[in-house]
Structure 1
């Protein structure tokens, strides 16, 4: 709740600071509106420069907070990958962390090149707007409609969680979530086809954007096909 509340207040703050920046520059709000990488590394630094005093202090505070948020988010994101690699390949936690962090570090070297900000912007957009949505849609369809594992999952949640889930949880995963994700996926694809993102070269969008989405889905299916040497325990921690 504290995390969501902070994000809600930050969202309100974004509109006010973008309006202030548009007024200072004598342009419309649509000329300064941006999101993602552009908001963090272009719009907000411009806003900090427009402050009447303590620009350096607020710059350090802002980017320090951004660094802390990035590190903590990276830990939570990597933990999912580390847990999956440990279970799939039956290796130690240290080995899984080294492999995943090492691969991520090598890929991230692309973002410190002269065009790194543009590469990061494209990958960030396509991962958040396409890869995550497609992966979530495929996951819920496979689990709810093909493997039909909603019942066992519901029993597992009710057995091990402090909160119990009922019929509403089943309807959400079998109907509501697939429908909403499908609508979002169709709308995002349509917008991407009709409007080229930031007028970037089509080759870059195909390689870094759609290439990342395709690679994510292919790796997901390839790793799923790899079999374990032994079955997973029924309860976490056994």
Structure 2
């Protein structure tokens, strides 16, 4: 492993492409490997043990590629096993968690809806995060499994289905003067523009993608591991049929589709 080694980025499926996009935008000279586990998606309804088994298999694959860092571009996988993975592998492993802290720092007595998967919201990791802020702020936990499914089944362009799902989850805090919605799953970033059109400007949408990418850059900078190559992206997925969709989703985020 040296500065020219690649960075591994993985997710339960296609949501992590939103993180891949942010990393590529922030560090365009880094060579990236994206691994989507769409064959075993969704992680949000699986047991912690099942998710851990999948993550170890993916990280073993990355280690065989001699990557210099691994990004768990999945809040659910991070919740399930990030500490175990950090103990197991001798490289930096960057995880993600819902950006609740960022939302709470917007002001006093914030009302915040956290949209995430069932497992993320039930895990001790998020419970500990909530404990830091729930005395001062009002926090609503909203599991949103349909938003993962619509990305994975290539239905983002189905306006009726998308808006029906968004309205369903927005309805769960209807009547409350929400200050922000934390998009606590990387799949949900694909709905950001639609949500901005649906919501009043007073409600902020917050995700952890930039913070994760910036943290990765800080680590690589500190260790003199920043690359100066052309910035390639290598694609892998346990469901090979999803690779072309993966590339289209990245182009969509880049505004080139």
Smaller-chain TM-score bracket: under 0.3
In the superposition, the TM-score normalised over structure 1's length comes to 0.27
State the structure with bigger RCO (CA 8 A, min sep 6), 1 or 2. 2
Question: Which structure shows the bigger proportion of residues in helix conformation?
Answer: 1
Higher strand share: 2
**Structure with bigger gyration radius:** 1
